[in-house]
Amino acid sequence: MMTIEIAPSILSADFGILREQVQLVEDAGARIIHVDVMDGQFVPPLSMGPQVCEALRDMGLHLEVHLMVDRPETIQVETFAAAGAGTIIIHAEATPAVDYALELIRSHGCKAGLAVNPATPLSIYEEIEPDLALCMTVNPGWGGQSFIASSIEKITRLRAIVGDEVVIEVDGGVDARTAGLCVAAGASRLVAGSAIFGQDDPARAFNDILNAATIRN
């Protein structure tokens, strides 16, 4: 039986009380915090920098940094590793040097994740084995989007490619309605942003998603 993990994305959190919001989900059982980093080029929005990781690193949670940036191997990998990231995820579409970038991440003591956008074929996972495979189930860049239903079949195919040892993470449109479907298809880690921090009670929302995911497992 797979261990199912929920990684709350702070992109949807209230940054005025960020530590308090993170503490709420930690108290509810969260052990991973997902940090979405955008450069305004790979995706249109700009988001947070390494200072956010530095502000949270003393809380004892695993910081998972999702780099939605062009050429992450040039400076961002080193910068976010130094800021406290435990996992760094890059996009297959963002660099021609995917293998080099993943090894660079590992050289800084972090787990190396590889993400693909909804329209990107899964064939790269036949050539390169990351520690974590992230299947985007919305187009990257904005929180609160609807889950792309055809992604379920893609998750199933991804699990068949990477086997049982690689963490499959799903990011986009995850809530209590879609969590169980993702896990049944082969996902073991689910990112949820607005479905947690956009709710009146983030801790309860976290547990609702976790319960929905584990019922199917």
pTM of the model: 0.95
Report pLDDT for 45.
81
Q: Averaged over 122-142, what is the pLDDT?
A: 92
What burial class does residue 62 get, using C-beta atoms within 10 Å of its C-beta: 0-12 exposed, 13-18 middle, 19+ buried?
middle
- List all residues 6 or more positions away from 101 whose beta carbon is below 8 Å from its beta carbon: 72, 73, 77, 90, 95
The answer to whether 67 touches 88, Cβ cutoff 8 Å, is: yes
Q: What is the pLDDT of residues 188-205, one digit of tens each?
A: 999 999 999 999 999 999
CATH 3.40.50.1980 holds for 5-215: no
Look up 36 and say whether it is catalytic.
Answer: yes
Q: Is the pLDDT of residue 18 over 80?
A: yes
Look up 171 and say whether it is catalytic.
Answer: yes
Q: What is the pLDDT of residues 21-73, one digit of tens each?
A: 999 999 999 999 999 999 999 998 888 999 999 999 999 999 999 999 999 99
Report pLDDT for 215.
78
Q: Residue 191 corresponds to which tokens in the numbers above?
A: 């990112």
Q: Are strands 132-136 and 87-91 parallel, antiparallel or unpaired?
A: unpaired
Q: Predicted confidence band at 146 (pLDDT cuts at 50, 70, 90)? A: confident
Report pLDDT for 5.
98
What CA–CA distance (Å, rounded) separates 211 from 4?
A: 10
Q: Is the pLDDT of residue 217 over 60?
A: no
All structural domains of the chain with their residue ranges: 5-215
Report pLDDT for 73.
96
Catalytic residue among 131, 171, 175, 208: 171
Catalytic residue among 36, 39, 131, 175: 36
What CA–CA distance (Å, rounded) separates 166 from 37?
A: 23
Q: Is the pLDDT of residue 1 over 80?
A: no
Report pLDDT for 2.
80
Question: What percent of the chain is predicted at pLDDT more than 90?
Answer: 90
Q: Predicted confidence band at 139 (pLDDT cuts at 50, 70, 90)? A: confident
